[in-house]
A and B are shown apart, each in its own frame.
Chain A
């Protein structure tokens, strides 16, 4: 009996949380399209979420591209098809690794920061104070973050694509003795616009997930410092899982033949 009671309680808590998130998501989206708009805050958030994530995203993409080139070379050489390195690096980075790696890095950096900031505002009643000052907390806090993340993530991923492919190029030409001209030729010949745009669409969705989870966990944190810490952890974990899961779904939809 007790065992079933536990299962029931867990399922109910999970359903309540999903319902809660759905309501929050709907409120967040609906406020994006209704004035007033806080342009100054949007600019601030684009700097924080996009610009300041550049170094970490760039380094991640560059080294991922390099490691990818090495692995494909080792794997390919066992069946005499080393020449495939350029193509697979380009496809792998633009379609999957660029958006996913950038998404996960930004999730760690930005979801955590948003959850900690809004969580602290929540437990010190600053969010309630917004309401008493005729300012909607969704419009003032959530909308700028979500819009900023949805705009900047594709830009970040575009840069990650370039640097990832460049990482593969540098490793291949410098230590695997590929001919630079042939490598570039192989990359350009096989890479299609769709490969890049599919990655950028994914990036936009990841941006939404990152900001949404940060805001949701922050808004729902309670109980002081420990609660804010828990919100921060939950934000990163849920954002990362949703990124990986939605990436799978989008890959299966975008590349369905």
Chain B
């Protein structure tokens, strides 16, 4: 049973109108590993995560979580499976109508019917884990800086002790030091929970730090996958261009030259 991957996508295709965003994409996330998918903007990274979560429905292909095809599940089975997940969104996506502690405790109170008082204690413990004091719990998300919002988002993602955590561009929009703080927190919280992590990013420093394995997505397909140690010797021109951030190479940007 240990061989069953935690998450597996098989030949997943997703279109928006005539635009193919995921093109026969296949990807395996082994249990307990941290896989980082790198790729440029608009290559289908976020769409891939949303397909696994069931927010978007692919036209073709199969998606397995713990060996079960989530696309064939009933709504209630699906909701049950979603309890295994936690997600840190790119813009943190905190509920701005609720104070910070209720944001962190949201999945416990609404999703799991935990008592508010009990949930608040858990929320404060999780906030402490991401380096925020209990007084932050009483503030509203709009009163926080971007880095603090990300940390609250991380606390919310790990509040219900998920088996799988998704990180959508966890370091985008942060200064390099705060980005590294977030990277450390991600490593710690994934390790503490023994969780499986799937991240998407275009920040190579972050990818090198949090990944066990790296995969690169380009035009809706995985064009390279391997352990982190092999990323510099992939022998793949696309990967080389991306990790060194070169404007010239096989990947052409749609930029009009003046």
Contact = CB atoms under 8 A, between A and B. Distances in A.
Interface of A: 36, 38, 121, 124-126, 128-129, 131-136, 140
B112 interface: yes
A135 B89 contact: no
B87 A129 contact: yes
A132 B86 contact: yes
A65 B89 CA distance: 52
A24 to B, nearest CB: 15
A133 B106 contact: yes
Contacts of A36: 113
Contacts of A124: 91, 93
A42 to B, nearest CB: 14
Given A124-B93, A126-B95, A136-B79, A131 B106 contact: no
B58 interface: no
Contacts, number: 55
6 contacts: A128-B55, A131-B55, A132-B157, A133-B107, A133-B111, A136-B79
Given A134-B110, A135-B110, A135-B111, A129 B95 contact: yes
A169 B94 CA distance: 52
B107 A135 contact: yes
A128 B90 CA distance: 12
Given A124-B93, A126-B96, A134-B112, 17 more contacts: A38-B110, A124-B91, A125-B93, A126-B94, A128-B50, A129-B93, A131-B54, A132-B53, A132-B82, A132-B86, A132-B157, A133-B111, A133-B160, A134-B160, A135-B106, A135-B110, A135-B111
A36 B85 CA distance: 20
A29 to B, nearest CB: 15
Contacts of B107: 132-135
Interface of B: 50, 53-55, 79, 82-83, 85-87, 89-91, 93-96, 106-107, 110-113, 156-157, 160, 166
Contact of B93 (A38, A126, A136, A140): A126
Contact of A133 (B54, B96, B110): B110
B201 to A, nearest CB: 16
Give the one of B54, B93, B156 with max A CB within 10 A. B93
A35 to B, nearest CB: 11
Contacts of B82: 131-132, 134
B53 A131 contact: yes
A126 B85 CA distance: 16
A125 B83 contact: no
Nearest to B86: A132
B15 to A, nearest CB: 15
Nearest to A38: B110
A125 B91 contact: yes
B164 to A, nearest CB: 10
Contacts of B90: 125
A125 B89 contact: yes
Contacts of A135: 106-107, 110-111
Contact of A132 (B87, B96, B112, B113): B87
Contacts of A125: 89-91, 93
Nearest to B153: A129
A134 B79 contact: yes
